[in-house]
Amino acid sequence: LQHPEQPTIIRNGQSVTFATLAEATRFLGDLLFVGEKSGFSSFRSLISLLMRDEESEFSDILRTMPVKKNAPPDRLPHLYLLGLDVVHYRGLLQTIKEIDRQTKLVSKIKSDLTRGNEINLKDIPAELNAEKTQVARIEAGLADLRAEPAFTEVEKDLNEIEAKLGALRATRKGVNFKIDQIRALPQPEAIDEVDLEIVFERARAGLGKLVQKSLEQARAFKEEIESFQRSLLNDELTILERQQRELNLKIRSLSQQHSEIVSRIDRKGTLRELSSGLKMAVHQQQNYHRRAALFQEYKDADQQKEDLQGERRQAIDHLRKELSENAAVEETMNNQVAAIHDRIMGNSDASFTLTVNTKTTVKQPLNLDLRILDDGSHSIDRTKVFIYDCALMFAECTQGRHPGFLLHDNIFDVDQDTLVQCLNYLQEQDDSGEDFQYILTLNREKIEVEERAKLIQLDVQDHCRASFTKANPFLGFRYQETRKASH
């Protein structure tokens, strides 16, 4: 406790102190997986199964992390203990991830190609063929045009004129939009003469001498307001219409200059046929080549996705074949689960199965399913986890790889009879010569009655390694757990 970040490990009577927790973890991993050929070497992953987090609530045999963590359970340590091909399954999971990434890429490219599904994907090849023919004519025409000696001299002028025309047309479009908006506005609401007279007379009757102005003066004020409203819109509309006329004149003048230059050099009528000018012709070229490249990228990405799906199908077939060849492992685990359930619950109504889910949308194709009678309740689920973890530790098919170590922190939030039978089962395993270490935390008050009645075979006091009370708290001082802020 004095140096929690520098642990000491005692092995065969010799103490080794490590500078960091990471070094100690690697050392234990090397000891555990020495000579291991299965491809599994994650000490942390295996320990998370052997030392389940209390915040997992022991709700599922696969979930070892806190229930608040939205992450899929890691099946690899289970496969390692069961003697199944860890490397192959890890590769299958990687293929599934790549399929997900490739599917997103294909969808994105398709959306770009079809402009958000405005165009049918099947129509793209025909459109590209038409554009290809048009671009070929454009490129041939431009090549002929550039061959004209006079073209080089005027190319810069043409580009400048087309740039100015583009800017002026964009400005004119904005002015036209504003004019249309003003013309679409409803006329300012005029105050009815009768309504004005009624309001005026009511005000004068209520306020008496305070109202000195005449009805004619009020009318004049009303007309001034209405005239001001009209003048604001009319003035703005007048300004915009003047801008519109000026822009039209400039565009007409530049267009005439453009035509005069073209007529001097375009003997074959290439630019007149294009009708869009040099920049638009180049833009059309670039747009075609971009779409053609994007369509090829889509086909390549879609083909890669199909190839990955083929790899996934092969990997699934390999997994199914492996389970068939290792049917004895499933049978041994199933028998062990049924035997433990019979010892604790008094019946063999329990089962363990390994199945493969072939649906393409599934992220974890291998299912490890342990079912017991009436599972689903808080107490039963905890019992199910206890049975599964013990089956992994004691079954013949897993003992060779299991380190014989298990820690359950507050797992026995179950009914009293189940608690008693679980403790007795552990004692019977110890009596039969099983070599294992089981660590649990237990509220001693919960079993005092059963201990006095000698219903518990396990000598709790003899096996107690640490006892904590309010007077003798854990770590030697009182503390309170801090809750991590949820995001």
If one counts every other C-beta atom within 10 angstroms of the C-beta of residue 467, the result is 8
CB 443 within 8 A of CB 452: no
Query: Residue 54: inside a domain, yes or no?
Result: yes
Q: How far apart, in whole angstroms, are the C-alpha atoms of residue 193 and residue 198?
A: 9
If one counts every other C-beta atom within 10 angstroms of the C-beta of residue 25, the result is 15
Token look-up 């179950």 returns 414
- Does residue 273 share a domain with residue 127? yes
- pLDDT of residue 191 exceeding 60, the answer is no
CB 440 within 8 A of CB 465: no
Question: Higher confidence at residue 107 or residue 152?
Answer: 107
Parent domain of 379:
36-84+327-476
- Does residue 289 share a domain with residue 415? no
CB 130 within 8 A of CB 137: no
Q: What is the DSSP letter of 53?
A: -
Task: Render pLDDT for 54-64 as a digit per residue (tens, 0 to 9).
Answer: 888 998 999 99
Range among 46-55, 122-131, 154-163, 362-371 rated most confident? 362-371
Give the contacts of 159 (CB within 8 A, at least 6 positions apart).
278, 279
Confidence of residue 472 (pLDDT cuts 50, 70, 90): confident
Question: Higher confidence at residue 76 or residue 164?
Answer: 76
- Does residue 286 share a domain with residue 333? no
- Does residue 202 share a domain with residue 151? yes
Query: Residue 3: inside a domain, yes or no?
Result: no
Among the candidates 248, 281, 296, a domain finishes at 296
The region, left, alpha or beta by phi > 0 then psi within -120 to 50, assigned to residue 55 is alpha
Query: Residue 136: inside a domain, yes or no?
Result: yes
- Does residue 160 share a domain with residue 53? no
- pLDDT of residue 221 exceeding 60, the answer is no
Q: What is the CATH number of the domain that holds 392?
A: 3.40.50
- pLDDT of residue 327 exceeding 50, the answer is yes
Token look-up 């005069």 returns 260
The region, left, alpha or beta by phi > 0 then psi within -120 to 50, assigned to residue 141 is alpha
Average pLDDT over residues 92-105: 96
Query: Residue 7: inside a domain, yes or no?
Result: no
- Does residue 335 share a domain with residue 282? no
Query: Residue 214: inside a domain, yes or no?
Result: yes
- Does residue 274 share a domain with residue 129? yes
pLDDT at 431: 93
Give the contacts of 83 (CB within 8 A, at least 6 positions apart).
38, 326, 329, 397, 398, 400, 401
Among the candidates 296, 317, 342, a domain finishes at 296
Q: How far apart, in whole angstroms, are the C-alpha atoms of residue 140 and residue 268?
A: 12
What is the chain's alpha carbon radius of gyration, rounded to the nearest angstrom?
Answer: 42
- Does residue 132 share a domain with residue 77? no
- pLDDT of residue 419 exceeding 60, the answer is yes
| Mean pLDDT, rounded, of the chain | 83
pLDDT at 58: 92
Which amino acid is present at 4?
P
pLDDT at 278: 59
Nearest Cα to Cα of residue 94 among 364, 393, 367: 364
Strand partners, 370: 352
Query: Residue 60: inside a domain, yes or no?
Result: yes
Average pLDDT over residues 20-45: 83
Structure-token pair, residue 89? 């399954």
User: What pTM was estimated for this model as a whole?
Assistant: 0.68
Q: State how many domains the chain has.
A: 2
If one counts every other C-beta atom within 10 angstroms of the C-beta of residue 73, the result is 18
Nearest Cα to Cα of residue 124 among 293, 286, 285: 293
CB 241 within 8 A of CB 183: no
If one counts every other C-beta atom within 10 angstroms of the C-beta of residue 310, the result is 11
Question: Higher confidence at residue 377 or residue 77?
Answer: 77
Q: How far apart, in whole angstroms, are the C-alpha atoms of residue 106 and residue 100?
A: 10
Average pLDDT over residues 342-366: 94
Task: Render pLDDT for 231-271 as a digit per residue (tens, 0 to 9).
Answer: 667 788 888 888 889 998 988 888 887 777 766 655 555 55
pLDDT at 212: 47
- pLDDT of residue 464 exceeding 80, the answer is yes
Query: Residue 421: inside a domain, yes or no?
Result: yes
Torsion of CA 209, 214, 220, 226, to 10 degrees: 50
Task: Render pLDDT for 420-441 as a digit per residue (tens, 0 to 9).
Answer: 999 999 999 999 999 999 999 8
- pLDDT of residue 287 exceeding 50, the answer is yes
- Does residue 342 share a domain with residue 403? yes
pLDDT at 443: 86
Question: Higher confidence at residue 161 or residue 388?
Answer: 388
Long-range pairs of 29-38 with CB within 8 A, sequence gap ≥ 24: 32/403, 38/80, 38/83, 38/85, 38/86, 38/87, 38/401
Q: How far apart, in whole angstroms, are the C-alpha atoms of residue 349 and residue 342?
A: 8
DSSP string, 213-253: S-HHHHHHHHHHHHHHHHHHHHHHHHHHHHHHHHHHHHHHH
- Does residue 146 share a domain with residue 249? yes
CB 379 within 8 A of CB 414: yes
What does the longest C-alpha to C-alpha distance in the chain come to?
116
- Does residue 333 share a domain with residue 286? no
Nearest Cα to Cα of residue 418 among 443, 439, 387: 387
pLDDT at 267: 54
Q: How far apart, in whole angstroms, are the C-alpha atoms of residue 203 and residue 225?
A: 20
pLDDT at 159: 74
pLDDT at 288: 84
Q: How far apart, in whole angstroms, are the C-alpha atoms of residue 258 and residue 13?
A: 96
Strand partners, 356: 366
- Percentage of residues in the chain with pLDDT exceeding 70? 78
Query: Residue 450: inside a domain, yes or no?
Result: yes
pLDDT at 209: 46
Phi and psi at residue 407, to the nearest 5°:
-130, 125
- Does residue 142 share a domain with residue 264? yes
Among the candidates 276, 296, 316, a domain finishes at 296
Angle between helices 277-325 and 151-184 (to 10 degrees): 80
Average pLDDT over residues 173-184: 83
Question: Higher confidence at residue 149 or residue 101?
Answer: 101
